[in-house]
Amino acid sequence: MTDSGLVPEHSVAQGTDTERASPRADLHDAIGWILFGTAVLAGSVAMDRLEAQNINPLTVPGLLPGLLGIAMILLGGVMAVRSWRQGAFHEAVAAPRPHQREERRRVWIAVGLCIGYGVVLVGHGIPFWLASSIYVTASILVFQRISADPAERRLTPRAWGQALLIGVLSSVITWLVFERVFLVRLP
């Protein structure tokens, strides 16, 4: 085991997928979670409280997101303290390895797709099921196209059909569950 007792030394030495993140990387993640939690909390506080409709305060729309935002802030703080104790500020910045660069690239692509979905597609006149179908289908095709496996990178008509089927089914099912089961109107 390593000093922290979390990962066997032999797995780190062999470079398997069980490598631990560095304390500095944990600190960066912690800051990200704290910022995201703060944004979620601020958004939930800004939501309409529906007082004019005599809504029970325990059922206001922003309650659950606010609690989740607080949880993200607290857990991000715990992660920041843990990384600080493990020497995040004294660690030399290592150059990213090729697989780390690929992971970062994939994360930024996912972030870009999510932002495109939330900012461009949803709430601008396109029905929710159609916007979600476009997003899910595009996400599947994009990530399939950048796959490490050369056979998966080929976007055959079958791959297009599968992505489209998954995109349409997932968005229609999501729309039906929210509209019919939870009685939540989607844009």
Residue 9 is predicted with a pLDDT of 45
Residue 112 is predicted with a pLDDT of 94
Residue 22 is predicted with a pLDDT of 82
Return the HEC string of the chain: CCCCCCCCHHHHHCCCCCCCCCHHHHHHHHHHHHHHHHHHHHHHHHCCCCHHHCCCHHHCCCHHHHHHHHHHHHHHHHHHHHHHHCCCCCCCCCCCCHHHHHHHHHHHHHHHHHHHHHHHHCCCCCCHHHHHHHHHHHHHHHHHHCCCCHHHHCCCHHHHHHHHHHHHHHHHHHHHHHHHHCCCCCC
Can you read off the two tokens belonging to residue 21? 């993140």
Query: Average pLDDT for consecutive 10-residue bins of the chain (187 residues)?
Result: 47 53 86 95 85 72 89 96 88 75 90 92 86 95 90 89 96 90 79
Residue 97 is predicted with a pLDDT of 78
